[in-house]
Chain A
Amino acid sequence: MTPITALLSIMFFPAGITLILSGMLYEWADRKLVARFQHRIGPRWFQPLADTLKLLTKEEIKPHGINSVLFYGLPIVALTGALTAALYSPILGLVPVYSFPGDLIVTLYLLSLLTMCMGLAGWNGSNRFSLIGATRALTQLFAYEAPFLLALLGPAIVAGTWVIKDISDYAENHWLIFTQPVGFFIALIGLMGKLELPPFDAPEAETEIVAGALTEYSGRGLALFHIGRSVELVVAVSLVTAFYLGGIGNPLLFLGKTLIMVLLMATLQAMLTRLRIDQTVGMWWRFGALLALCQILILVLLKGWLA
């Protein structure tokens, strides 16, 4: 791949603009579904785009007494992390642009970058709500990260590779949701934790701590964080779909499968009450992590025994 095509693929297709726009469409689908479940009309299809454009044109207010490098830099790092992760993922049903042995691990860490950046952003703030939000965001990260990682390791173990592309090729002939239902379920819930969707929205519970870590953010910084999150939604949904729901296959079918994932997540969001941070952590470590570990153990043993 020449530098020109690499640049084009990062800037426009399949990453970059295309990815950001599709992220907004996924976000719209999620918001619209939740709204319909709650008997509301919900936003129009271009609402996420309109929100983002409006935020980008707004003044960015920097609070006194905080580190400006971090304040302005963190949203950029967060978005970059999410966009980079997209390069190794089968987004929009396309074969990953780049691929190298072990790219699964790198991608998972890139996906966590957003939460880390939000945690840092909250810690950098002088606002009490931000500080509590940051503490909660990072606490929650420690809760769901390990089970989520383990849930994505399951397919890697059976496929015998750490390359996302190879795993999804393997998954094309094996619908792993049937052989590893626990893993799929944990990955789905972990995804909601990662995106801080209800019931895992304690880090930004508005009735307690306003907007959590991002309370002091406005204008461009907030817009970048929002874009980062919708990109992460696409990347993570694509990953889980490719691993558990029959690989990449044809792009149209893939789109349908990811939308089913969004539908599942929207249903859970509408059904559940926000968990307190202690309940979130308790749930993940008492059930999530244990179940994921058991599944990995069984997979490893079975694999050794069959071989």
Chain B
Amino acid sequence: MTTETYLQRAGEILAPFAKATNNPETNRLDVQIAVGDLPTAASALTDASWGYLAAITGMDLGVETNELEALYQFCEGAAVTTLRVHIPREDCPEIPSVSDKIPVASFFERELSEMLGVTVVNTPDPSHLFLPDDWPANVYPLREGFTPEQAASVEPAKTLEPGKVGNKFIVPIGPQHPALKEPGHFEFTIDGEIITGARMRLGYVHRGIEKATEQRNWIQNLYLLERICGICSHTHTSAYSQGVEKLAQVEVPQRALAIRELVAGLERIHSHLLWLGVVAHEAGFDTLFMYSWRDRETVMNLLEELTGNRVNYSICSLGGVKHDIGAEHSASIHKALDYLEERIRYYLDVVTTDTTFLQRTRGVGTMTLDEAKRFGTLGPTARASGVTRDVRLDAPYGAYKRFPVSIITDDRGDLEARFVVRMKELLVTCFTIRTIVDNMPSGEIATKFPRKIPAGETVSRVEAPRGEAFYYIKSAGGESPVRLHIRTPSLCNWTSVINKAVGHQLADAPMLIAGMDPCFSCNDRMVTVRRKDGSNTLTWSELREYGIKKYGQRK
């Protein structure tokens, strides 16, 4: 089916609820509906298996209109259908939950309610997801007129101190735990060694980047967004520039797009090799961990050679790229890929034949195709369950039409399948990178870019190493965006972990968490260190004094 037929079908399904319909872009359908119709409309789309809920974007339309707006963004192929609801700004706005049909929506709804102060009726867990527990009541960071001073910490209403609740024995994993490379909090209720329940809490590295983008101009945001994640930094800049370029109606040179795809490929190699090491370590197979991280250095060095940086490559600019990658780099890229391909084949062999490792991965955390679709999983996690979902193919962006990739799926759905899918994906990526290097389009690498962006809104989707990254960008014609919403793939994959962990052994929990390749900093994006007395920052000597005082009190 083409994008047009998808949109047509969505229009037919939503016709009974639509108050107004329009097509802001060729691949988008905007349907205005009443708040009360939301659950029925959302489940009509789900029942007709029209796409998946990619994000819920909330925004404050300001004091003049006195309305909040929530956008329920569904994606199928390249088509994006937006259910647009308006709710009053004052007097405890309420919105019905859609999470009984779409489990992943519960995370989006928690974000919506804490950021904008919307009460989501019947949502399974109304507690904070990103904001700290000592966040004051009735202060919502994405509302107009919010100032950081309002966010002075208060005594938390309830503590998250896990412990023995009734007869349940709860094992906390995080916020600080050796299994987690970044802070998150998981509570596993266990019976002996078997997990009987799971709960999670995010936001320990929430940095308020979405809010911060509204105070910076379009160019500055590029650097800010690059720092969302240390692993898929290029994903964020390319998704952002792609969206902004669409809004500005700037044609980006083909050569720049090819270079973006090339860097994205190298980033994918570095990300998947990193993941391989992390999961091997969770399983207690440190040799594989050390090997894969050693080989990852090859691609890191290559990235440094090409862009000057190992982590935040900073190669995207609005309207193109900053550095040219040309024939002079071809030899070193091919050489690095020769080595990497050989190693990746070896790892593929290890993860499919090593008996003791297979004991920990084969048949563990099996997720069927139906479950993967229902939980809204994305990326390699979904593809390992047989879901053919990949933005690079569904909605080819950038140079992906010219240099296509082939999709790798596996129908087993267990941890082993996730290893196989990721390793095979790397081989495909290596092949694509070689093709790009050998057939690099000629021409400029950047075009002139305006300072102000015309008013409008757009959706930009990019396939990150972990799955689809979803950007919603709204401009009012000024020098900075009025709303920028980011939904990273990890957030969509949590549902599967929480649901699949039950019934497994405690020993499998770290592997299940790591198996979807979670990225907490992508998820969270603000942390403000605030002390009870109101001062926000500590100098080095103050910190030292604080430490000594605290140490003294304990004795």
Contacts and interface: CB of A to CB of B under 8 A. Distances in A.
Interface stretch (A80-88, A105-113, A247-255, A267-275): A267-275
Interface stretch (A33-41, A70-78, A219-227, A296-304): A33-41
Contacts, number: 75
A88 to B, nearest CB: 34
A208 B507 contact: yes
B93 interface: no
Nearest to A201: B284
A198 B290 contact: no
B510 interface: yes
Nearest to A139: B193
Contacts of B179: 206-208
Contacts of B542: none
A274 B290 contact: no
A199 interface: yes
A132 B171 contact: yes
Interface stretch (A96-104, A160-168, A233-241, A276-284): A276-284
A273 B359 contact: yes
A25 interface: no
Nearest to A200: B284
A207 to B, nearest CB: 4
Nearest to B507: A276
Contacts of A205: 284, 507
B287 A275 contact: no
Given A39-B294, A132-B506, A208-B507, A273 B172 contact: no
Nearest to A270: B287
A198 B506 contact: no
Size category, B interface: 20 to 34
A202 interface: yes
A260 interface: no
Given A38-B287, A39-B294, A201-B284, A210 B356 contact: no
Contact of B178 (A37, A128, A207, A273): A207
A250 B356 CA distance: 38
A275 B356 contact: yes
Contact of A207 (B169, B193, B284, B505): B284
Interface in B283-297: 283-287, 290-291, 294
A198 B169 contact: no
B114 interface: no
A271 B281 contact: no
A279 B172 CA distance: 24
Given A210-B178, A271-B287, A275-B359, A128 B172 contact: yes
Contacts of A271: 287, 356
A222 B182 CA distance: 27
A128 B507 CA distance: 15
B12 interface: no
B341 to A, nearest CB: 19
Given A38-B291, A205-B284, A210-B177, A273 B354 contact: yes
Given A39-B290, A132-B506, A208-B510, A279 B284 contact: no
Size category, A interface: 20 to 34
B322 interface: no
A276 B505 contact: yes
A273 B506 contact: no
Interface string A187-222: 000000000001101100111111000000000000
A199 B281 contact: no
A276 B282 CA distance: 12
A48 to B, nearest CB: 19
Contacts of A208: 179, 506-507, 509-510
A277 B193 contact: yes
Contacts of B359: 273, 275-276, 279
Given A202-B507, A208-B509, A273 B357 contact: yes
A217 to B, nearest CB: 16
Nearest to B163: A128
Contact of B360 (A38, A129, A198, A273): A273
Contacts of A128: 169-172
B507 A273 contact: no
Contacts of A198: 284, 286
B284 A274 contact: yes
B508 interface: yes
Interface in A1-44: 37-40
A273 B283 contact: yes
Contacts of B354: 273
A199 B356 CA distance: 9
Which 7 A-B pairs have CB atoms at the shortest separation, nearest pair first? A274-B284, A207-B179, A38-B290, A273-B285, A273-B356, A276-B507, A206-B178
Given A39-B290, A128-B171, 15 more contacts: A128-B169, A198-B284, A206-B178, A207-B178, A207-B179, A208-B507, A270-B287, A271-B356, A272-B285, A273-B285, A273-B356, A274-B284, A276-B193, A276-B360, A277-B505
